[in-house]
């Protein structure tokens, strides 16, 4: 029974979201982190390579369309670099891949907001369009989901069946 709901908490006591650092290196969730990093890395690497093949200017603000997204030389090289970084995370795996996925996911979300503000300005040196902003948001959320999966917890109470399933040795 969920009796934890009936108990009042002391004033100032909050549940904190925690990041599980105790996952073993060979934990089955490492596959999720690796697959997430690999898939997103492959997409970004393909986008970057296709953008470079078109030989567009490095900071060309008009850009060129590749796979439905606007790009230029700078965005293509940046996409290749991030894609390779995600592949490195995939090879390392474990908590490193998870943390890298989360960090890059946050950066993609921030990039989406920044580039949304820079649309149709002279400071749009990556030639972003609204499609790129939406792509950045989607990739950011996916990377964060892959990275946080199984590692982020809101502090389940000890009588919760999910907590019991994860900690069979601590149940009484």
pLDDT at 26: 53
pLDDT at 13: 53
pLDDT at 4: 44
Both tokens of 111, joined, read 């990039």
Tell me what the mean pLDDT of segment 45-56 comes to.
Answer: 82
Selected residue with higher pLDDT from 106 and 18: 106
CA 78, 79, 81: angle at the middle one, nearest 5? 65
Both tokens of 16, joined, read 């904190």
Alpha-carbon distance of 77 to 70, in angstroms, equals 14
What's the pLDDT tens digit per position in 1-47?
A: 444 444 444 555 555 555 555 554 555 666 777 788 888 889 889 88
pLDDT at 147: 83
Alpha-carbon distance of 121 to 31, in angstroms, equals 42
> Pseudo-torsion of CA 39, 44, 46, 47, nearest 10°?
140
What's the pLDDT tens digit per position in 112-169?
A: 999 999 988 888 888 788 999 999 999 999 999 888 876 666 666 777 776 677 778 8
Selected residue with higher pLDDT from 55 and 112: 112
For 67-112, what is the HEC assignment?
CCEEECHHHHHHHHHHHHHHHHHHHHCHHHHHHHHHHHHHHHHHHH
pLDDT at 155: 65
Do the beta carbons of residue 155 and residue 15 sit within 8 Å?
Answer: yes
pLDDT at 141: 93
Do the beta carbons of residue 45 and residue 80 sit within 8 Å?
Answer: yes
What's the pLDDT tens digit per position in 66-104?
A: 777 778 888 889 999 999 998 898 888 777 888 888 999
Q: Which residue has the tokens 């990041």?
A: 19
Residue (of 145, 142, 118) closest to 129 by Cα position: 118
């Amino acid at each position: 029974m969920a009796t934890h709901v009936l108990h009042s908490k002391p004033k100032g006591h909050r549940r904190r979201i925690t990041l599980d650092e105790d996952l073993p290196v060979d934990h089955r969730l490492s596959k999720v982190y690796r697959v997430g990093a690999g898939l997103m890395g492959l997409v970004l690497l393909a986008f970057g390579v296709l953008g470079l093949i078109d030989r567009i200017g490095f900071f060309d603000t008009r850009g060129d369309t590749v796979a439905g997204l606007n790009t230029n030389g700078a965005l293509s090289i940046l996409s290749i670099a991030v894609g390779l970084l995600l592949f490195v995370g995939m090879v390392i795996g474990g908590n490193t891949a998870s943390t890298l996925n989360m960090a890059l996911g946050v950066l993609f979300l921030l990039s989406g907001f920044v580039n949304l503000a820079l649309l149709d300005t002279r400071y749009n040196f990556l030639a972003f369009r609204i499609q790129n902003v939406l792509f950045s948001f989607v990739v950011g959320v996916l990377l964060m989901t892959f990275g946080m999966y199984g590692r982020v917890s809101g502090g389940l109470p000890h009588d919760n069946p999910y907590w019991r399933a994860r900690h069979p040795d601590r149940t009484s």
